[in-house]
Amino acid sequence: MAYELHYWPTIQGRGEFVRLALEAAGADYVDVARGRGKGQGVAASLRRMTAKRLVQPPFAPPFLVHGKHTIGQTAAILLYLGPRLGLVGKSEAARIWTHQLQLTVADVVAEVHETHHPIATSLYYEEQKKEAAKRAKAFREQRIPKFLDWFNTVLARNPAGSTWLVGARLSYADLSLFQLVDGLLYAFPKATQRALATTPHVVALHLRVGSHKRVAAYLGSTRRIAFNEDGIFRRYPELDA
Amino acid sequence: MAYELHYWPTIQGRGEFVRLALEAAGADYVDVARGRGKGQGVAASLRRMTAKRLVQPPFAPPFLVHGKHTIGQTAAILLYLGPRLGLVGKSEAARIWTHQLQLTVADVVAEVHETHHPIATSLYYEEQKKEAAKRAKAFREQRIPKFLDWFNTVLARNPAGSTWLVGARLSYADLSLFQLVDGLLYAFPKATQRALATTPHVVALHLRVGSHKRVAAYLGSTRRIAFNEDGIFRRYPELDA
């Protein structure tokens, strides 16, 4: 049974963490809001989310539909998909640790969104540029180095070696860290390069995931939406320095 | 074996979601940073977190130590504790749904923090008051109603009845929604009362959890730290309206 991913069709956004997991595993899935068939497209996707018969309604996209399950929240979707796609270890300890890493990636992603929307999601960036400049400065100078240092430490301390974040195999946390670094390099190239200069394990992980056979094929395909200024990672040169 | 909770000793903060779960279940636990015994206190707690031998270092408090496990990230801690404390259903579907609710509570909590720190965590509130006023306005007018409406819908649609969020028993998501409402009522009494006027199931849940025998005993004890202006939920009257 194919997985149905429901997410905004023109941005990577939070949906990209789910796309990467499905792609890396070679899973059979439909990116519903991007389809043109019957029951597809963004309107159909939103109708699905707001249907009154849904007893477990997602708060917002992305959400996954699989058989009778409808699951929202990126990290909860990956909690569900991880074991099914072979993207998490079998032990409870490995699953909780992988999830902890994912939740920390999610924290950074939320902070990235705040750099261009520090006042309100309902306003345009242009309406909060002054505040965004201040917020982005703190994010660049304090938060990017702190988060990337932590992930570097996690890789350095992995008893199975620094190849992957958890144990000796690719997990969804590796895919998510790849996406985080990729997005940071797009949005804040100067600040991110500075932080990566002292976090070599993170650099190596980013390259390793990007050259994973199925991930590389995905990144080179039209299924990978390009970064753009409607997504979470936006390149506003005035916010980088 | 007692659970060890490690968190800042003078605020409820994110640690409170863990405290509430431990208290509601009557679990044996030590609030390490608040203790005065050997190996206790905030310095000992932070040493524990930053120890170089730790192969799974938490990014920040709260973290839980249980036997050989050290777990950070509030939602990951609850994912670990839920089954052990009888605070989540046994089926995978119940566990994922409960977690999805928890992650949405966490999203609101992060937004509450942004209302008084929209520019930088490293600056005082007084240094970002102007931006905080704007951010809080959007949060009060758009986000509080939207989030509380969603939780009200979840309660209304629960096939087992609107007593609890998931199935027919108390889960950690109920405790967390209680804490969220309690905090919102402290920080934004006017805006929250307005939203609660149209979300009766949320009001009922807040009262129900607050009168749960062990929860009520905890709330009346000195173990419950009072809300204050160092925590996440802060009462700055100028941010409410």
A165-181 residue pLDDT tens? 999 999 999 999 999 99
Shortest CA distance from A166: residue in chain B: B56
| Strand order through the sheet with B29-31 | B29-31, B3-6, B63-66, B69-72
Cα–Cα distance, A220 to B143 (Å, whole number): 38
Cα–Cα distance, B61 to B116 (Å, whole number): 20
For residue B117, count other CB atoms closer than 10 A to its CB.
24
- Picking from A114, A104, A6, the residue whose alpha carbon sits closest to that of residue A64 is A6
Using a CB–CB cutoff of 8 Å, tell me whether A127 touches chain B: no
Please indicate, yes or no, whether residues B55 and B132 belong to a single structural domain of this protein: no
Task: Give B-chain residues touching A155 at CB under 8 angstroms.
Answer: none
Please indicate, yes or no, whether residues B100 and B62 belong to a single structural domain of this protein: no
Chain position carrying tokens 């039209």: A222
Q: What is the pLDDT of residues B190-216, one digit of tens each?
A: 999 999 999 999 999 999 999 999 999
pLDDT-derived band of residue B241, with 50, 70 and 90 as boundaries?
Answer: confident
| CATH code (residue A70) | 3.40.30.10
Using a CB–CB cutoff of 8 Å, tell me whether B164 touches chain A: no
Q: What is the pLDDT of residues B66-91, one digit of tens each?
A: 999 999 999 999 999 999 999 999 99
Please indicate, yes or no, whether residues A62 and A135 belong to a single structural domain of this protein: no
A97–B159 CB contact, under 8 Å: no
- Picking from A175, A165, A174, the residue whose alpha carbon sits closest to that of residue A16 is A175
Using a CB–CB cutoff of 8 Å, tell me whether A49 touches chain B: no
Cα–Cα distance, B128 to B135 (Å, whole number): 10
Q: Taking the model in full, what pTM does it have?
A: 0.98
Last residue of a domain, one of A20, A51, A85: A85
Last residue of a domain, one of A85, A102, A120: A85
What's the confidence (pLDDT) of residue A1? Answer: 86
Please indicate, yes or no, whether residues B74 and B155 belong to a single structural domain of this protein: no
Rounded to two decimals, the ipTM of the complex is 0.98
Work out how many domains chain B is built from and give that number.
Answer: 2
A69–B100 CB contact, under 8 Å: no
- Picking from A59, A52, A53, the residue whose alpha carbon sits closest to that of residue A74 is A59
Last residue of a domain, one of A85, A106, A133: A85
Please indicate, yes or no, whether residues B98 and B182 belong to a single structural domain of this protein: yes
Contact B126, B234 (CB under 8 A): no
Using a CB–CB cutoff of 8 Å, tell me whether B150 touches chain A: yes
Distance between B222 CA and the closest CA of chain A, angstroms: 31
Please indicate, yes or no, whether residues B28 and B146 belong to a single structural domain of this protein: no
Positive or negative torsion for Cα A68, A71, A77, A79: negative
Cα–Cα distance, A95 to B83 (Å, whole number): 14
For residue A105, the enclosing domain spans 92-239
Using a CB–CB cutoff of 8 Å, tell me whether B156 touches chain A: no
